[in-house]
């Protein structure tokens, strides 16, 4: 059996299947003369779900956040196809990143902190070298405090996303589900999610990464390039 390719898909593939294709279908092909509202939603959301499952097979990995991403898409489909009130889209949009933020905070106090999955990752950072340098400097006991602060900053990025998601959805998705107007609004919300939500959230994500790396540099005496595994 062939080993799975552990490299995640590129940025363009992520954008194409998660944003561009769903937006085009929802805004251009959801009229009665094309797919219609219900089939338009099904086809549009099939792309991110299918892409997520394909990437799972390709990398051999399926983590908590990836799973929530697929759940989010399925919830959008369920709300749309059952023609529930549009307010549930806003609630769902806020709930998913909010759950991730809470999970990051809570996971600090477990054996499996999400910080290690998202930032302090042994596939990216040379953890044994960092631990060895911390022991040599007598600073190993200071690492947990650094990790907690970095985790809280990281969680903050998801809490910001939760608020922005809710506001964006409430402002844009106002038509009844099961209509062409609703699909158009869902497409517009998806298109605007990148500049309005993803970019500010990524800024805070990189603040957490900068804090973690800068703190490790001070505690270990290592240069930044020495802390990362050569790719």
SS (H, E, C) 132-194: HHHHHHCCHHHHHHHHHHHHHHHHHHHHHHHHHHHHHHHHHCCCCCCCHHHHHHHHHHHHHHH
Q: Is residue 54 part of a domain?
A: yes
Whether the CA torsion 76, 82, 86, 88 is positive or negative: it is: negative
pLDDT (mean) for 209-222: 90
Largest CA distance in the chain: 70
Residue range 161-203, pLDDT digits in tens: 999 999 999 999 999 988 899 889 988 998 888 888 888 888 9
Phi-psi region of 117 (alpha: psi -120 to 50; beta: other; left: phi over 0): alpha
Task: Return the pLDDT at 59.
Answer: 65
Calculate the average pLDDT of the chain: 83
Task: Return the pLDDT at 34.
Answer: 84
Residue range 19-51, pLDDT digits in tens: 788 888 888 888 888 888 888 888 888 888 887
Query: Residue 216 pLDDT > 80, yes or no?
Result: yes
Residue range 106-147, pLDDT digits in tens: 888 887 787 777 777 777 788 888 889 899 988 888 888 888
Out of 4-8, 13-17, 50-54, 226-230, least confident range:
4-8
Residue range 54-70, pLDDT digits in tens: 877 776 665 556 666 77
For residues 127 and 191, membership in a common domain is answered with yes
For residues 44 and 122, membership in a common domain is answered with no
pLDDT (mean) for 200-218: 90
Residue range 80-93, pLDDT digits in tens: 888 889 899 999 99
Q: Final residue of a domain: which of 58, 82, 106?
A: 82
Task: Return the pLDDT at 107.
Answer: 87
Please enumerate in sequence order all residues whose Cβ is within 8 A of that of 33, keeping only pairs 6 or more positions apart, or say none: none
For residues 76 and 123, membership in a common domain is answered with no
Q: Final residue of a domain: which of 82, 106, 123?
A: 82
Task: Return the pLDDT at 167.
Answer: 93
Q: Which domain holds residue 63?
A: 8-82
Q: Final residue of a domain: which of 82, 102, 122?
A: 82
For residues 127 and 210, membership in a common domain is answered with yes
For residues 119 and 164, membership in a common domain is answered with yes
Query: Residue 11 pLDDT > 70, yes or no?
Result: no
pLDDT (mean) for 197-221: 89
Task: Return the pLDDT at 1.
Answer: 40
Task: Return the pLDDT at 4.
Answer: 47
| Number of domains making up the chain | 2
């Amino acid at each position: 059996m062939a080993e799975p390719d552990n490299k995640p898909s590129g940025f363009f593939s992520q954008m194409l299947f998660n944003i561009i294709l769903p937006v085009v279908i929802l805004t251009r092909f959801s009229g009665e003369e094309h797919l219609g509202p219900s089939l338009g939603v099904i086809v549009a959301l099939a792309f991110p779900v299918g892409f997520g499952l394909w990437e799972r097979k390709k990398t051999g990995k399926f983590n908590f956040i990836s799973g929530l991403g697929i759940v989010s898409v399925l919830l959008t489909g369920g709300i749309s196809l059952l023609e529930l009130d549009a307010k549930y889209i806003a609630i769902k949009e806020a709930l998913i990143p909010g759950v991730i933020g809470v999970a990051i905070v809570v996971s600090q106090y477990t054996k499996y902190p999400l910080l290690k999955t998202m930032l302090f990752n042994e596939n990216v950072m040379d953890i044994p070298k960092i631990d060895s340098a911390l022991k040599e400097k007598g600073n190993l006991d200071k690492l947990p405090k650094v990790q907690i602060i970095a985790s809280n900053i990281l969680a903050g990025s998801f809490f910001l996303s939760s608020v922005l998601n809710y506001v964006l959805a409430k402002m844009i998705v106002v038509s009844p589900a099961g209509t062409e107007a609703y699909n158009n609004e869902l497409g517009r919300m998806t298109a605007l999610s990148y500049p309005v939500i993803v970019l500010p959230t990524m800024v805070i994500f990189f603040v957490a990464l900068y804090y973690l790396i800068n703190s490790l540099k001070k505690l270990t005496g290592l240069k930044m390039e020495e802390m990362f595994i050569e790719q």
